[in-house]
């Protein structure tokens, strides 16, 4: 067999899908598993959105579209970004793609040169595709730790020490995955002050959970004076509208829109045509269903945080947004003789029938903070209660 490239052999992945595959295999063997491993709303896509897709199909919207998306969708995204971020975004600034993920790669490729030593600062723990795409695009990954003592947000002084003339991109994610941490306006203003002196430094603002904020209001760094021009605003329909499988994401930046368009042309040609019309309806239509979903996620958040904090050896902060909790299980590992969070994850899956993710799935464990696991509470209250009950039973059996 001919050799593979180093880039392909070493390409990272999103371990939520790896664990999901493991869960599927166990379930196929007949094992009962309560899964908290995937960040996917368990709600159906709103009916008006589905109806819009059906109308689009029946109207013959089956073919290619312009690479950046149909005008109606770009206009809807521009209006939504302008209203929710408090900035002026024009339709020509917007490019639509097959989900939000491609824009991570497109942005890194657009602002760094392969092998030139250009650095990308990104959150750790964080969405694993950040690091894998930084390496795949030939840039230098520079992680910055999100510490539990700070509510899992950047230490501004540490960020200042990481940025230099080689830094070409800073990745922000608020609300964050896996911690649910939220960057408020004052923190974003401090980050903007650090970025300002570096003319070649861009910001990628991953805002896919912006519709799921529970404590305070969502804020985008693009709204800080002087930051809109150098910020890529990235979002998708997946989380807010329960449209993960529809694969429509979008990003906005006036200077980079044409570059992103060429990348779309080179990769996917265009997003799926009828799905674009569905997202037009999602953005322009009634927002009652997304509001109901958010309200239910808030109930679930409070239930799972309260339940986790009642289990010996576990402490859990209340996240400000998204649908993840990132409980500290350091003491539980000690109490049960488990070496680390990954061993705990495996044992919970095979011994308790509970699927979660561990520190190593989201970067390098922050040693000073101990061990953590991620629960996605994008699942029913019954599933949350059942899963926590199994964890409590496992702890009772294995506690030393």
Q: Domain containing 95 — which CATH number?
A: 3.40.640.10
How far is Cα 103 from Cα 90, in angstroms, rounded to an integer? 18
Answer yes or no: is 156 within a domain: yes
Confidence of residue 10 (pLDDT cuts 50, 70, 90): confident
Please state the rounded mean pLDDT for residues 36-41. 90
Answer yes or no: is 34 within a domain: yes
Answer yes or no: is 49 within a domain: no
Same domain, 304 and 343: yes
Side-chain-side CA neighbours of residue 20 (13 Å): 11
Q: Residues 286-328: pLDDT tens digits?
A: 999 999 999 999 999 999 999 999 999 999 999 999 999 999 9
pLDDT at position 180 is 96
Q: Residues 195-252: pLDDT tens digits?
A: 999 999 999 999 999 999 998 899 999 999 999 999 999 999 999 999 999 999 999 9
Answer yes or no: is 57 within a domain: no
Is 297 within 8 Å of 377 (Cβ atoms)? yes
Q: Tokens standing for 260?
A: 């992103």
Same domain, 222 and 125: yes
Nearest 5 degrees, angle CA 391-CA 182-CA 35?
A: 25
pLDDT at position 16 is 73
Same domain, 252 and 221: yes
How far is Cα 33 from Cα 245, in angstroms, rounded to an integer? 23
Please state the rounded mean pLDDT for residues 137-150. 96
Checking if the pLDDT of 43 tops 80, the result is yes
Checking if the pLDDT of 390 tops 80, the result is yes
Answer yes or no: is 53 within a domain: no
Answer yes or no: is 105 within a domain: yes
Please state the rounded mean pLDDT for residues 112-121. 97
Answer yes or no: is 55 within a domain: no
Please state the rounded mean pLDDT for residues 30-44. 92
Of 36-45, 89-98, 169-178, 270-279, the one with minimum mean pLDDT is 36-45
pLDDT at position 227 is 98
Same domain, 211 and 308: no
Same domain, 225 and 294: no
Confidence of residue 358 (pLDDT cuts 50, 70, 90): very high
When divided into structural domains, the chain yields a total of 2
Checking if the pLDDT of 264 tops 90, the result is yes
Q: Residues 68-93: pLDDT tens digits?
A: 999 999 999 999 999 999 999 999 99
Checking if the pLDDT of 161 tops 90, the result is yes
Examine the fold and report which residue of 284, 318, 344 is the final residue of a domain before the chain moves on.
284
Same domain, 243 and 294: no
Q: Which domain holds residue 335?
A: 6-44+289-398
pLDDT at position 127 is 96
pLDDT at position 154 is 85
pLDDT > 70: percent of the chain: 100
Confidence of residue 375 (pLDDT cuts 50, 70, 90): very high
Same domain, 110 and 253: yes
Checking if the pLDDT of 400 tops 90, the result is no
Checking if the pLDDT of 389 tops 80, the result is yes
Same domain, 18 and 117: no
Same domain, 31 and 148: no
pLDDT at position 138 is 97
Please state the rounded mean pLDDT for residues 139-144. 98
Answer yes or no: is 50 within a domain: no
Please state the rounded mean pLDDT for residues 266-280. 98
Examine the fold and report which residue of 262, 284, 306 is the final residue of a domain before the chain moves on.
284
Same domain, 275 and 296: no
Q: Residues 183-205: pLDDT tens digits?
A: 999 999 999 999 999 999 999 99
CATH of the domain at 361: 3.90.1150.10
Confidence of residue 260 (pLDDT cuts 50, 70, 90): very high
Confidence of residue 266 (pLDDT cuts 50, 70, 90): very high
Examine the fold and report which residue of 284, 312, 338 is the final residue of a domain before the chain moves on.
284
Same domain, 130 and 252: yes
Same domain, 313 and 270: no
């Amino acid at each position: 067999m001919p050799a593979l490239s180093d880039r392909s052999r070493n390409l990272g992945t999103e371990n939520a899908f790896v664990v999901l595959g493991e869960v599927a295999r166990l379930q196929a063997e007949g094992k009962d598993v309560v899964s908290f491993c995937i960040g996917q709303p368990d709600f159906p896509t709103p009916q008006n959105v589905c109806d819009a897709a059906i109308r689009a199909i029946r109207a013959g919207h089956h073919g290619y579209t312009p690479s950046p998306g149909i005008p109606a969708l770009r206009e809807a995204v521009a209006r939504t970004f302008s209203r929710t971020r408090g900035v002026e975004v024009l339709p020509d600034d917007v490019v639509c793609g097959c989900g939000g993920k491609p824009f991570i790669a497109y942005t890194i490729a657009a602002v760094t040169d392969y092998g030139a030593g250009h650095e990308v600062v990104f959150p750790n723990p964080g969405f694993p595709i950040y690091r894998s795409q930084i390496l795949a695009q030939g840039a230098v990954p520079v992680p910055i730790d999100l510490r539990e003592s700070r509510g899992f947000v950047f230490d501004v002084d540490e960020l200042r020490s990481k940025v230099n003339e080689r830094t070409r991109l800073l990745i922000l994610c608020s609300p964050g995955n896996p911690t649910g941490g939220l960057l408020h306006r004052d923190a974003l203003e401090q980050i903007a002050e650090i970025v300002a002196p570096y003319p070649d430094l861009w910001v990628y603002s991953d805002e896919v959970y912006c519709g799921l904020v529970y404590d305070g209001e969502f804020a985008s760094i693009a709204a800080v004076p002087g930051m809109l021009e150098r910020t890529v605003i990235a979002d998708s329909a997946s989380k807010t509208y329960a449209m993960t499988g529809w694969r429509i994401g979008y990003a906005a930046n006036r200077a980079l829109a044409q570059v992103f368009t060429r990348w779309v042309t080179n990769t996917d040609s265009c997003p799926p045509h009828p799905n674009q019309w569905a997202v037009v309806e999602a953005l322009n239509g009634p927002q009652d269903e997304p509001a109901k979903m958010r309200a239910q996620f808030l109930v679930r958040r409070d239930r799972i945080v309260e339940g986790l904090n009642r289990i010996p050896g576990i402490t859990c902060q209340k996240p400000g947004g998204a649908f993840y909790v990132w409980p500290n299980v350091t003491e539980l590992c000690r109490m049960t003789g488990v070496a680390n969070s990954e061993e705990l994850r495996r044992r919970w899956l095979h011994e308790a029938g509970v699927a979660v993710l561990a520190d190593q799935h989201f970067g390098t464990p922050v040693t000073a903070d101990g061990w953590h696991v991620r629960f996605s509470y994008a699942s029913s209250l019954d599933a949350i209660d059942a899963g926590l009950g199994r964890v409590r039973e496992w702890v009772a059996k294995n506690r030393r």
